[in-house]
Amino acid sequence: MPDEFDYKIEAKADMAASGTSVPPIDYAPVAERPEQELYHSKSWWTTYVFSQDAKYIGIQYTCVATAIALVGLALSLLMRLQLAFPNLSLLDASVYYQFITMHGMIMVVFFLTALFLGGFGNLLIPLMCGARDMVFPYVNMLSFWVFVLAVLVLVASFFVPGGPTGAGWTLYPPQAITAGTPGNLWGIVLMLVSLVLFVIGFTMGGLNYVITVLQARTRGMTLMRLPLSIWGIFVATILALLAFPALLVGGIMLLLDAVLGTSFFMPVSVSMGELLQTEGGSPILFQHLFWFFGHPEVYIVALPAFGIVSDLISVHARKNIFGYRMMVWALVIIGALSFIVWAHHMYVAGMNPWFGYFFATTTLIIAVPTAIKVYNWVLTLWRGNIHLTVPMLFTLGFIITFLNGGLTGLFLGNVVIDVPLSDTYFVVAHFHMVMGIAPVLVVFGAVYHWFPLVTGRMLDQGLGKLHFWITFVGAYMIYTPMYYQGFLGVPRRYFEMYESSYISTVGLNVFITLSALVVGLAQIIFFYNVIRSVLKGEKAEKNPWKANSLEWQTPKMPPEHGNWGEKLPVVYRWPYDFSVPGADKEHIPQNVSPSEVAGAKVEKT
């Protein structure tokens, strides 16, 4: 669209004419390059299956990730039933260990990572940056289909001889590939192949997200005007691009150990009474590689959730996010620090005990920027005008859950307190709160928030509230008691719940399982709500939440292919101009020029 590009000359002329560097009131920076021609699909296949439209790919990612998450959810409910009611003999030990492994890997990698980056990343990045699409639409399409392949390989491992691997999602060798572990022949191979495929697929998508944010923002959309959702996804994607290679390396080496009998991670050892022909490898090296990926992975899931929740809280409290710049820097600092804390997962792994000092210190430092984020969320509510919509409810649930899970991280990060608590249910409770329930609450809040953007219809708010209360309170009741099991020393990953001779936890287990069943079943409400609303939900008005960010300012809702119709939007402000003094409107979208809201006393952004 050449007229867009001409603006550059106009703007320059403007500046020259006024003879000063002070920009005119509606000044927007010049476009730096002409707009690319947009790819248009030509057939049914390239429109609905191998789509190259980021919005559509985002929905594809969301659907596949959600589908596999339902498998993960079902596994967890079966595990909880087995733990609380062993007399039912639902599972045997091998199957139990296979389920914990698959549940963990599915939820962390194939659900949350794929959903936040592939799902929300694709949906939101072009729209919120004011781009027509990702910069590499074809690669984006490939990314999704490689992800599908990875999921299929993972699911296939349920059907191979020996079943899926039961090594725990951490896949620690030697155990992962020796005879005492279920799925040590086929299952582990398929798991590793699936992870390798995932990393390949993710890398293609990830490059797209980062480059689109850096290169394809519309005029006026400076980095410090990006919505925090995009900041969260952007930083998380950079983390993922740097962390996944460690998983790739570890995974391929373990694959070689498993298939070709190399000894990257295999020392001299015995398996079922037989001396193995392995020598010289280091099991701890695998743990370092795994956690070099695994710890940033926590933030790969958490940072997009942080970002999205910041936007939800601001829109629904009708108030600017408090301390935007601090929020951005906190994301960046957390991201950077997340690469030097990995061995806090290994305090009792047998590494040199002096490492403890270093990793305990770095880990506790990360608490500072994280705490700042929590303060700023809560301070955003202060003197706001809080609409208790469903997205806001999920946001509030997130804050309490994350506060709880984050604070318990201070126990586990402080090396000497980790010694009694590591490998107990305290850890299970902590990470489920902080990177399970908390991000999932954000996912739900985000779905309720952006559902009208995607479908043009509203989700039912009554059902949404019911879904929220059962999910939030129920999940809280699942995990809070687990902390106390951990204090008691009940170890995790036990097929038969360990009974402390000090005090029995049988009753607690039954309680936890019943809570889990209620929460699990309550998700039916959500899916019913989604299906019903897609078909005959109330039609949404344009920009139903009165948000400022660009995704709601498209000419049509849901946005069409290319998002913006004839002209790209021009951005004049940050996305948080709510309740601005002097403004005649309650909120000022990012693409409203200063001259349109002359009286508004906005702060410069």
Partner 1 sequence: MFVAFILFLVVVGTLVFHFWSPYWLTPVASNWGSMDQTLILTFWVTGAVFMAVGLFMVYCVWRYRYQKDRKAEYKPEDKKLEFRLTLLTAIGVVALLAPGLIVWKDFVTVPKNAVEVEVVGYQWGWNYRLPGEDGILGKTDIKNISDNNPYGLDLNDSNSKDDIMVQDADLHLQIDKPVKLLLRSIDVLHNFYVPEFRAKMDMVPGMITFYWLTPTKTGEYEILCAELCGTGHYAMLGTVLVEEERDYSNWLAQQITFENALAQNRTIQLAENKK
503 contacts partner 1 (rule: CB under 8 A): yes
Considering beta carbons, is residue 159 or 469 the nearer one to partner 1?
469
Q: Which of 143, 218, 320, 338 binds partner 1 (CB under 8 A)?
A: 320
Specify the amino acid at residue 394: F
85 counts as binding partner 1 under rule CB under 8 A: no
> Which 461-500 residues touch partner 1, going by CB under 8 A?
469, 472-473, 476, 480-481, 484-485, 487-489, 491, 493-496, 498, 500
Pick out residues in 345-374 that bind partner 1 (CB under 8 A). 348-350, 353-354, 356-357, 360-361, 364-365, 367-368, 371-372, 374
**Beta carbon of residue 306, minimum distance to partner 1 (angstroms, whole number):** 16
- Is residue 174 near partner 1 by the rule CB under 8 A? yes
How far apart CA 386 and CA 527 sit, in angstroms, is 27
Q: Closest distance between partner 1 and the C-beta of residue 527, in Å?
A: 24
Please select the residue that binds partner 1; options are 12, 387, 539, 567, rule is CB under 8 A.
387
Q: Does 186 bind partner 1 (CB under 8 A)?
A: no
Closer to partner 1 by CB, 408 or 563: give it. 408
Q: Which helix (H) or strand (E) covers residue 148, if one does?
A: helix 137-156
Query: Least distance (Å) from partner 1 to the CB of residue 361?
Result: 7
Three-state SS across 301-316?
HHHHHHHHHHHHHHHH
Could you tell me if residue 562 is left (phi over 0), alpha (psi between -120 and 50 degrees) or otherwise beta?
left
Query: Is 52 exposed, middle or buried, given 0-12, 13-18 or 19+ CB atoms closer than 10 A?
Result: buried
Residues 400-429 that bind partner 1 (CB under 8 A): 400, 403-404, 407-408, 410-411, 414-417, 419-424
Closer residue to partner 1 (CB): 219 or 319: 319
Work out whether 290 is an interface residue with partner 1 (CB under 8 A): no
* Residue corresponding to tokens 């956690």: 291
- The minimum distance between CB 245 and partner 1, in angstroms, equals 25
Task: Kindly identify the residues of this chain, within the stretch 197-236, that bind partner 1 according to CB under 8 A.
Answer: none
What's the CA gap between 200 and 144, in Å, rounded? 10
Residue 520 Cβ vs partner 1, minimum distance, rounded to whole Å: 20
Element (H, E) at 567: none
The DSSP secondary structure of 357-385, one letter per residue, reads HHHHHHHHHHHHHHHHHHHHHHHHHTT--
Least distance to partner 1, CB of residue 170, Å: 8
Q: 181 is written with which tokens? A: 């572990």
Q: Dihedrals φ, ψ of 275, to 5°?
A: -75, 125
Q: Please, which residues bridge with residue 270 across strands?
A: 275
Question: Cβ of residue 132: shortest distance to partner 1, in angstroms?
Answer: 30
DSSP string, 38-104: PP---SHIIIIIS---HHHHHHHHHHHHHHHHHHHHHHHHHHHHHHH-GGG--S-HHHHHHHHHHHH
Query: How far apart are CB 3 and partner 1 at their closest, in Å?
Result: 35
The residue among 166 and 589 lying less far from partner 1, judged by its C-beta, is 166
For position 90 contacting partner 1 by CB under 8 A, the verdict is no
Q: For the CB of residue 594, give the shortest distance to partner 1 in the complex, in Å.
A: 16
Q: Give every CB contact of residue 171 below 8 A, 6+ residues apart in sequence.
A: 101, 165, 188, 191, 192, 254, 286, 290
Q: Which stretch binds partner 1 (CB under 8 A): 89-97, 225-233, 451-459, 518-526?
A: 89-97
Stretch that binds partner 1, among 24-32, 107-115, 392-400, 548-556 (CB under 8 A): 392-400
In one-letter notation, the amino acid at residue 291 is W
Return the amino acid letter for 439. Answer: P
Q: Which is nearer to partner 1, 261 or 353 (CB)?
A: 353
Identify which of 191, 31, 147, 163 has the alpha carbon closest to the alpha carbon of residue 95.
163
Of 244 and 574, which has the nearer Cβ to partner 1? Answer: 574
**Using CB under 8 A, which residues numbered 324 to 343 contact partner 1?**
324-326
